[in-house]
Structure 1
Amino acid sequence: MLFNLLAPLAEEFLLFNLFRYLTFRTGGAILTALFIALFAGPKVILWLRLKQGQGQPIRTDGPEGHLAKKGTPTMGGFLILLALAISTLLWADLSSGYVWAVLLVTIGYGVIGFADDFLKVSKKNPKGLNGRIKLVFEIAIALGAVVWVMMITRDPLSTSLAIPFLKQLMINIGWFFVPVAVFIIVGAGNAVNLTDGLDGLAIVPVMIAAGCYALISYLVGNAVFSAYLQIPSVPGAGEMAVFCGALTGAGLGFLWFNAPPARVFMGDTGSLSLGGALGMVAVITKHEIVLAIIGGLFVLETVSVIVQVASYKLTGKRVFRMAPLHHHFEKKGWAEPTIVIRFWIIASVLALIGLSTLKLR
């Protein structure tokens, strides 16, 4: 909004020229989202605690240490979405279709997650919303956003996949790009959802990935840098840097209250929406496959669940003591902070590998 209001006045007021720069607006988005989250956090947490009473139901078959977290409110993702949405609307170019597409996925998935969390709390049942119903709504929202993005992205880029580590190799897969992109968005949303199981475990890797995609967005949106690095040039995708900046700032503010011992859990309201947002940004910036590297921790957690379920159904035996993967290490006796920090380290290393694809081609 500030860009649309103030940038046109730059000729008359030189200071307003700052709003033309993505770097300035991204920095503004980070700080704005951070301050909103820090300011609104105590009020939101108090409201959630009053409304939820006993907080998020704790699985009785889970790690024993989780029973001590009984009474901690969930739906803290509402705080993230509040700070993220306000900051994005304030600092991004609201004439960009990409901005509205990513907000559609983020808020849409947040609503699905909110419904899931609400059922868990109101019915005191950890299962929440029916899985098939969730999946149908996730696919529908992702489908609408993908078609929208394809309509505003130039051909043949709109239906092409970029291959990491290979110079300017784009594979045009036509309309098959639609199910691929939908799978990426839905998969990313559920992968982050599975990772969100310990205090601070999911939000930091999300912020790391968002920081990486802020840089990627800036580069693909700049014709000079994209030509130099020989990566796809996507005019207008630079606005995703502002969105990713807002996501990072909102995540930092949430982490203030989610750091062990957590005063609030993000719940599906946060994890599903943030994962979907990352997937949408990856599709817009034509770095879909790179998301599997930068967000490799989320992939590992998801694969651990798939392997566990497949092994049990086929052989009757479990590969891990408990899935997702972080619960396996809890069952082995690792302290929660140890698991969380080590997973952060893994996420950081994978992010660096993912960023290396920008140059190693």
Structure 2
Amino acid sequence: VHELSMGERQRIEIVRCLLQDPKLLILDEPTSVLTPQETETLFETLRKLAAERRAILYISHKLEEVRSLCDKATILRNGRRVDDCIPSAETARSLAEKMIGKRVESVKKRVTNEQENIGLQISSLTTHSHQPHGVDLSDIDFEVRAGEILGIAGIAGNGQIELMDALSGETGAPLGGTIEILGTDATHLNPNERRDLGAVFVPEERIGQAAVADMTLVENSFLTASTRMKFSPNGLIDWNAVGSFADNIVRDFDVRTTGVTALASSLSGGNLQKFIVGREMLQEPQLLIVSQPTWGVDAGAAAAIHEEIQRLVSAGAAVLVISQDLDEIFLLSDQIAVISQGTLSSATPANDVTPEDVGLLMGVRHTQQEKTKYAAA
């Protein structure tokens, strides 16, 4: 099980719980790995269980789901109960403001600033998964232009991890196809060489892949930013400069920690996520590739991360967002593609598709013939 993605583990937990005919069912963010159609099916099941006088505790940051499903809600902030309410009598914004204790400004979608320069171009990418229960990628094609966000949606376990590893260079050169970063063939380059071109990466797995648990925040800052931030110009590490960079991350991304000398393992999942995203974005990259950017963070932090991503794109960067959160995909993306069974659909303008359309694409294998037909339509 430890070799499965976070989303796959969560799906196993949901099924296991439902099969036990529970009298009390506690669900924590259950729909983050489901299509819209699967989410509605789960809700129908939960409503039936509630009608049978079974108790359900539903924990979620998806506030529209809370409003739709729950009879009453308790709001927690910093581990303390701050309010009780009837969700249907609230708006998503009012619930969010109760959660974080301040006004939430809506993230406004920027005007698309797509440019001619291509930040990332993938052609016929084919890989063999290094995970025992992984998914092989087959003939993946897409491009992301400067000033554009491409969102890749999909249910966990359909090749997202393998795609991220291939793009970052973590698993070496692919079996076939090419990866071009900012006009340079990066197919056979290692992760550091790809970063030298102007790319940064935020993988799904926080501990072990994005950060080292037993290293401090200062040391973790150095790991991926050493070259772009010129922390060792003469072969010696300038720890004062690294420390200042870590301070900036903590301040700008509101990372709750005892200080930059704290171990990465001491941070909560949400705060570590803010630190990792901040570490990459403050390097001012020309290409950002991020998987599950707001996994586990609160509404206020998610809005802040979304604003920073849009700021980066407005400055001319190309951004690829891989996410299981359809709200996030539609909020950020100019183009949307769907990954399923190791294949990728054609990218479509976000304004031309609905969440239901995307949900239907999550369950099929995308062939070249289907891509051509879909693009023509």
Q: Which has the higher contact order (CA 8 A, sep 6+)?
A: 1
Q: Give the alignment's TM-score, normalised by structure 1.
A: 0.29
Identify, as 1 or 2, the structure richer in helix. 1
